[in-house]
């Protein structure tokens, strides 16, 4: 895991420990680059949240990993299998679910279970039934009669039917109300992840990410901005406030801007506020050793929302 998650860097994990390994992946739609030179690693056993604004390249990445479209460049492996040459092996070993509007609405729950069983090498109906029970889904209902939240829950049950080591979920809670989202995420982290499965899910909802993820990647404009352990990110991203005995001159502001790992500096009353990413202890010591009379140095951690906004705003090439 990373102690200091920096722009463009990915989690450093030995390849044999990676559930997903992506190297310099490129995905184009005509002349539009949906994914550009993407490299990232999803460690086995992690709950990896793939976070980005709408149109950032999350779904394009997932479709490519699942073999639904071929990459225009680079390579990727899922559970050690090449996504191009061994795409059938990937699909046989991965549980996949996307937004809920892709289901056969005219079928009943038992009928779609039988369909998935017939398409699967190793189907575990007992496992599916257990999760249907955990969610409290009506076991014989027609899919069209289910609420959107229930359809999302059913998709997760079906994705688990082949007892996969890896779950790939594309915006699984999109459009769900807060109660349905909470129920879905509670089972995802309390049951599924607790069984040791790797979960890779895309979302643009920061609340979902904070609820379940232990590892985070932020993507924008098809490019990975950062990837790392969420707790480590919180440690290495802080906001400092320096209070001076007298209002500091402009030269002090400019001097602070040159400190390593200082990303943003702004005046705040009689003091100065700094946003720091990196070696926060070294920055704090530098602030306490300023030649001007410093009354107080205080620091606070950044929320995931603060971290996300900081990375997104640093890049002006949004699409």
| Residue 15: per-residue pLDDT | 56
Distance in angstroms (rounded) separating the CA atoms of residues 77 and 85? 10
| Residue 8: per-residue pLDDT | 42
pTM: 0.85
Distance in angstroms (rounded) separating the CA atoms of residues 312 and 314? 5
Asked if residue 199 lies in contact with residue 164, where contact means CB atoms within 8 angstroms, the answer is no
Distance in angstroms (rounded) separating the CA atoms of residues 281 and 180? 41
| Residue 100: per-residue pLDDT | 57
Closest CA to 282 of 238, 229, 227, 314: 238
| Residue 190: per-residue pLDDT | 83
| Residue 43: per-residue pLDDT | 95
Give me the domains of the chain, ranges plus CATH numbers.
15-221 (3.40.50.300), 234-301 (3.30.70.920)
Asked if residue 200 lies in contact with residue 50, where contact means CB atoms within 8 angstroms, the answer is yes
Biggest CA–CA distance in the chain, Å, is 75
Asked if residue 81 lies in contact with residue 250, where contact means CB atoms within 8 angstroms, the answer is no
C-alpha 189, offset from chain centre: 14
| Residue 173: per-residue pLDDT | 86
- HSE (CB half, 13 Å, CA atoms) of 262? 22
Residue-wise pLDDT tens digits, 86-122: 999 999 999 999 875 666 778 999 999 999 999 888 8
Cα first-last separation, the chain = 30
| Residue 22: per-residue pLDDT | 97
Distance in angstroms (rounded) separating the CA atoms of residues 1 and 207? 22
| Residues in the chain where the model's pLDDT stays below 50 | 1-14, 317-319
| DSSP annotation string for 163-229 | --SEEEEESTTTT--HHHHHHHHHHIIIIIGGGT-EEEEEES-HHHHHHH-SEEEEEETTEEEEEEE
């Amino acid at each position: 895991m990373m102690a200091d998650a920096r722009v463009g860097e990915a989690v450093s994990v030995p390849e044999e420990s990676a559930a997903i390994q992506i190297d310099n992946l490129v995905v184009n739609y005509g002349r539009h680059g949906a994914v550009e030179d993407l490299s990232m690693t999803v460690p086995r056993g992690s709950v990896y949240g793939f976070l980005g604004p709408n149109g950032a390249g999350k779904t394009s990445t997932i479709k490519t990993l699942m073999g639904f479209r071929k990459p225009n460049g680079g390579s990727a492996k899922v559970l050690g299998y090449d996504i191009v040459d061994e795409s059938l092996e990937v699909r046989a070993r991965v549980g996949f679910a996307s937004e809920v509007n892709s289901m056969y609405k005219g079928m009943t729950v038992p009928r779609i279970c039988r369909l998935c069983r017939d398409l699967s090498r190793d189907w575990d109906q007992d496992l599916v039934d257990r999760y249907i029970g955990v969610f409290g889904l009506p076991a014989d209902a027609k899919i069209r009669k289910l609420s959107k939240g229930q359809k999302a829950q059913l998709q997760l049950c079906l994705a688990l039917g082949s007892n996969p080591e890896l779950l790939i979920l594309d915006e699984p809670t999109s459009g769900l109300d807060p109660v349905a989202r909470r129920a879905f995420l509670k089972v995802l982290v309390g049951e599924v992840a607790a069984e040791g499965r790797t979960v890779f899910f895309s979302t643009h909802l920061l609340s979902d990410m904070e609820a379940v993820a232990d590892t985070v990647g932020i993507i924008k404009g098809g490019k990975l901005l950062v990837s790392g352990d969420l707790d480590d990110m919180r440690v290495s991203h802080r906001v400092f406030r320096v209070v001076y005995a007298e209002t500091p001159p402009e030269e002090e502001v400019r001097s602070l801007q040159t400190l390593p790992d200082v990303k943003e500096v702004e005046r705040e009353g009689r003091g100065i506020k700094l946003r720091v990413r990196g070696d926060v202890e070294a920055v704090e010591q530098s602030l306490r050793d300023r030649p001007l009379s410093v009354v107080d140095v205080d620091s606070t951690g950044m929320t995931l929302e603060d971290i996300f906004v900081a990375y997104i705003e640093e890049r002006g090439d949004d699409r």
